[in-house]
C-alpha cells in the first residue's frame, strides 16, 4: 500500500507497541520485520502490523501519528481492537 499511512506494530497481543508513519506501508513493515532498521522495533522485536490508517497527505498522517504517540496505552489498545480484535498480522493480507 503506497501513500501516507499511520501504523501500529506490536511484539504480541497486548505487548510492546510502536507507532509510525510512512509513505509506503508494505516496504516499511517488511523492513521492520526483517530487522533492517536499527532502533526500537529491532531491539524489542516489534514486528506485527496490528493497525493502520491511510491518509490523503503526509501532513495529516504526521499529525495523527504525533497525536497517537501522546495517547495512553489503553486508548491505543482500544483503537487496535476496534479494527483487529484478534491482533492478527495485517501485513499477511498485503503479501
Counting Cα atoms < 13 Å in the Cβ hemisphere of 1 gives 19
CA distance 26 to 49: 10
Determine the pLDDT at residue 94: 79
pLDDT (average), residues 28-36: 96
CA distance 37 to 92: 20
The answer, yes or no, to whether residue 28 has pLDDT greater than 90, is: yes
**Phi, psi of 15, rounded to the nearest 5 degrees:** -90, -155
| pTM (predicted TM-score) | 0.95
Counting Cα atoms < 13 Å in the Cβ hemisphere of 52 gives 25
CA distance 30 to 47: 9
Q: How many CB atoms lie within 10 A of CB 72?
A: 8
Amino acid at each position: 500500500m503506497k501513500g501516507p499511512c499511520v501504523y501500529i506494530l506490536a511484539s504480541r497481543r497486548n505487548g510492546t507497541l510502536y507507532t509510525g508513519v510512512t509513505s509506503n506501508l508494505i516496504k516499511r513493515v517488511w523492513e521492520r520485520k526483517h530487522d533492517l532498521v536499527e532502533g526500537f522495533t529491532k531491539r524489542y522485536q516489534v514486528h506485527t502490523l496490528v493497525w493502520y490508517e491511510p491518509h490523503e497527505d503526509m501532513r495529516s498522517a504526521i499529525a495523527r501519528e504525533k497525536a497517537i504517540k501522546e495517547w495512553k496505552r489503553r486508548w491505543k489498545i482500544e483503537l487496535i481492537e476496534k479494527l483487529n480484535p484478534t491482533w492478527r498480522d495485517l501485513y499477511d493480507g498485503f503479501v
